[in-house]
Structure 1
């Protein structure tokens, strides 16, 4: 969608008169308090500062924001950031203002006077960054406003939202292709943390960025330990994880349904873990209040649907737990990426079971979209199931999905406790034989539960009612337990050896079933050694202590955190806006005795040094010998 033509020539953005890297590095040191760019940032920033368009793929926590914030400071004019995250704009602007960056936003949460102030600042060039929701670009007054100011760049955040069949599609993103037509001299930078090669091509096409330079960083997040385990009692499994490995930590628990969110939040709260629910069915004020508390307070757990989390910039999320199977690897990667943005050890934990597979297959079959769309969704789910069932390093498989190679990481459950494989050809044949006999002899189709009951020889009411105890396959599966049969069926579905169909999720054969029944295909399956979960949990517990923090510095670190919490509460901002944990750890270890020495700590820029320096030194001076 093109924007209407301007009545006057669009203002051209100026350039910094010095070398790009020099101006950018000065801004990094002076404003953000860092001495060097992370890998990949400098090249992107130089390209955008010089006026080039860019499509940037960088993992959550990789420093995407700096790739448009610093060019906005270095180039003449205002950096206009298109973001779908209205609820978080205030926090994003607060964090920038704490650094001394002049930032503002325009969205529906403001009254007329507030909007007029920001608009006047934009036109006068008195702000460095302006955040807008994409839907505001449908308003002619917004276009007129942008025409009256000087624009340094357009940053399109969460660019995967333009992917029409993606997990976060937002229709208003489609109109952003018109930015270049109306403001041809303004560079654009589109950024996302999740995109396969196909999605990247779709983003470039839909945003008119085919000629933009692509920057693809490594998707690896080595500080995150990926762990996936079969569901048994998911609530108790989650509680055990939190109590034994993440007591007092901030974290996110994802559930598929609103009802599940409510139940699990209440369960955790009843068991002494402060947890808040978040889903679209909550009153908007409650939802906003819960999100605000999670961002501003230490150690809270938020239980949410996947509607929560996009753009969350809370660096100290120590775990992300999934109690339902994500629909795609992209969604899983983006959601788990919200853990450990500060680079410290964190856990991505998922419990999934047979019913998850059945439910998602049913959702795909009955969902919106044409046949091609349902096939795409099935392929997404197949890739997610392959990640769950792999006997290889999970990180290797995850990175391979995004087209990157890696060596086994030594920090996922399959590396820490390699699973066994076993020949499940005969059990698979028994399952398929049961499905065949139900169909041929009774003209019936049933779900997994009934098939397992028949195999185990259970004479319950449903079996007797349908005369299933007279089938020749009745009781032929007593060599395996109920949970083992469910695992067999789950992995058969994952391998495409049978399928789920219909409203009730009945099991049916696929093209691959015949080869198994005839013995022409061997079926190998994953078997979890019983020590696997305990071993992975122990490894996570062993790495729990803050990195590079000597034991003698721990008390001072906690006092600095207490000071930070009080200061954040007084100012009404999230604690990480004051200082990140990594900065407080370095202060507690280095023990600076002057403002000059404190200013050399990573993450202490000029504005924060002036604002908080004396208070930090007081905390250090008040520390007992």
Structure 2
């Protein structure tokens, strides 16, 4: 028997109406059609498959990439009264047997499974004997061999179309450029007419990108705006992850490291702390984060250049899943560009892949160096668009430009006359005419470019050289020594001398960021703030008794609504968004009691 999706939305999730394209997608799948869903993180993708899975006859099968993610989603669904379970390699034998009894008897609404587990012949045979309402493939971008999260097991999921030809297939992701989308559709045999592209914009995230000056000081200033809040700091190396986490602890923060080289149990313990506590900073490599369901991550900081715009979008998208204001900061410098270029050139990938990776790096550098709206550049990469957002650093403080044609010529000439083998710092010292023994030993105090750049200071010359690398006029030494060489594009520039506009670097930020805390934190009337905090404390108390992340009980957004509405009865609390029937039964009395204690 088919259930009513709108009734499930209200009874299970506590919402009166679908958002955006959710209703259209749900109706499409309810009719037995396949669907590809691209929707920003926090846009409600999970409801697009969870509700049809419960509403259609049979059990919903959801393919998910990570055991921790599956456990998180199953816990949240069970709290809402949904019969959900996860099948993975960590499941003990007795629990596995009980799960299969539930599957066979039709007792489950939704079963989560990792792709490696699902593709085993015995698992596919057993699932072939039970009716399935749908098959949903979450984090579907993992299927793309050109993507930043490619997983070979996802590639094999194309067999599902032949094995379950009459079961609707859904592929869902928040990150996929046009080639990746086409690849997903082709492999999973989903028609273009079944694709729903909801856009990429995350208007609640404020984007800021800065040149590396003093990374620890920059990070410290940034974190001042987020005291008592959860966030993620991404680093490029395992060693830097551990060193940064240790340093943050000395600065009074509750920070934990996470990287692929750690013991599995230690990684799991740190991830559990991050999800269960409300003010933990996870300092991580890219090994952390895919599918993290924690909705109250208030910031994501990259203190090294990420791998691509797709990676940057995916990683920053872990902030503000609840739709509340959040921050994304990225620090980058010349060394990052050189290192990323070296990763590409020294890889064993075929030339076609290297060419694609170079293009992706160029696009990321374009985002980093743009003088325009960051959000416009970010969205345009994915074929989306927006008006200037007013919620990024370049909109808030538009950078000044100057005619850098002569400066670029001087820099390129200096690189040439010093032999195209010295790094950024040395070139800057020669341009400024520094009295340095090394320069004298090489005889570079006697070349024509020695001291010809005194119209700019050291900081400006660093910014100029970084922009010339980003524009591919200069190439970094790929052997790892950091030397600069003129590219063919740079030689063409010297021949043709076209006008070149460059950014003026902003002055060093000695104090707090210009954006006020009210713009990047939860906005609450003073009258509601004490009650909101009391509700959070009650949520923590309940969550700890059940060993659950607090957000599985209620999201911050729901607590904000409770603090504003101040319901005095079960019926009034049932009208608050995010309060479904099961949670109302379980937690209504406890939260109503807190509200009564704070009656105005």
In the superposition, the TM-score normalised over structure 2's length comes to 0.97
1: CA distance between counterparts of 2:259 and 2:521? 33
DSSP 3-state at the match of 2:514: helix
How far apart are residue 222 of structure 1 and its match? Answer: 0.9
CA distance in 2 between partners of 1:486 and 1:206 (Å): 46
Q: Matched residues in 1 for 2:510 and 2:188: separation?
A: 44
1:579 has 2:559 as partner: no
1:26-85 CA deviation, whole Å, 9 max, x = no partner?
Answer: 110010000111101111111111111111111111111111100101011111111111
2:399 is matched with 419
2:103 corresponds to 1:122: yes
Give the Å deviation of 1:481.
2.1
**Could you say what the CA RMSD is over the residues aligned between the two structures, in angstroms?**
1.7
The answer to whether the aligner puts 1:565 opposite 2:540 as a matched pair is yes
Tell me what 2:91 maps to: 110
Q: Tell me, yes or no, if the aligned pair for 1:174 and 1:207 is still in contact at 8 Å.
A: no
Q: Secondary structure at the match of 1:228?
A: strand
- Is 1:268 the counterpart of 2:248 in the alignment? yes
How far residue 410 of structure 1 moved from its aligned partner, in angstroms, is 1.0
- TM (normalized to structure 1)? 0.93
Q: Secondary structure of the equivalent of 1:518? A: helix
Is this contact kept in 2: 1:564–1:579, CA < 8 A? yes
What whole-Å deviation, never above 9, does each CA across 1:122-162 have from its counterpart, x for those lacking one?
11111111111111133222112211211111110111101
Q: CA deviation at 1:201?
A: 0.5
Secondary structure at the counterpart of residue 539 of structure 1? coil
Any residues of structure 2 matched to 1:201-600 within 5 Å, and which?
201-210=182-191, 213-243=194-224, 245-439=225-419, 445-503=421-479, 504-518=481-495, 520-530=497-507, 537-547=513-523, 549-600=524-575
Runs of 5+ consecutive residues of structure 1 not aligned to the other structure = 1-14
Check the 8 A contact 2:146/2:180 in 1, yes or no: no
Whole-angstrom distance in 2 between the partners of 1:197 and 1:462: 50
User: Can you give the 5+ residue segments of structure 2 that lack an aligned partner in the other structure?
Assistant: none
Query: 1:235-260: per-residue Cα shift (whole Å, max 9, x none)?
Result: 111111112x1111110111111111
Question: 1:74 aligns to what?
Answer: 55
Q: Does 1:134 align with 2:115?
A: yes
Q: SS at the partner of 2:445?
A: helix
Partners in 2 of 1:189 and 1:377 — Cα distance?
29
Conserved? CA contact 2:341–2:478, under 8 Å: no
Partner deviation per Cα, 1:493-552 (whole Å, 9 max, x = no partner) = 1112122233123222222223432353111111244499979x33341324523x3211
With over 3 angstroms needed to count, the CA separation of the structure-2 counterparts of 1:402 and 1:533, relative to structure 1, is farther
Alignment partners' CA distance in 2, 1:268 and 1:149: 51
Selected match of 2:80 from 87, 96, 99: 99
Comparing 183-192 with 348-357, greater Cα deviation is found at: 348-357
Residue 174 (structure 1) aligns with: 155
Contact 2:42 2:322 in 1 (8 A): yes
Which string of whole-angstrom CA distances, capped at 9 and with x for unpartnered residues, describes residues 275-302 of structure 1? 0101011111110000011001011111
* 8 Å Cα contact 2:84-2:110 kept in structure 1: yes
Q: Which deviations, in whole Å up to 9, do the C-alpha atoms of 1:80-114 show, x marking residues without a partner?
A: 11111112221111110000000001111111111
- Name the CA distance, whole Å, in 2 between partners of 1:265 and 1:509: 38
Q: In 2, distance between residues paired with 1:116 and 1:558?
A: 43
Asked whether the equivalents of residues 460 and 504 of structure 2 are also in contact (C-alpha less than 8 Å), the reply is: no
8 Å contact kept, 2:338–2:478: no
- SS of equivalent residue, structure 1 residue 592: coil
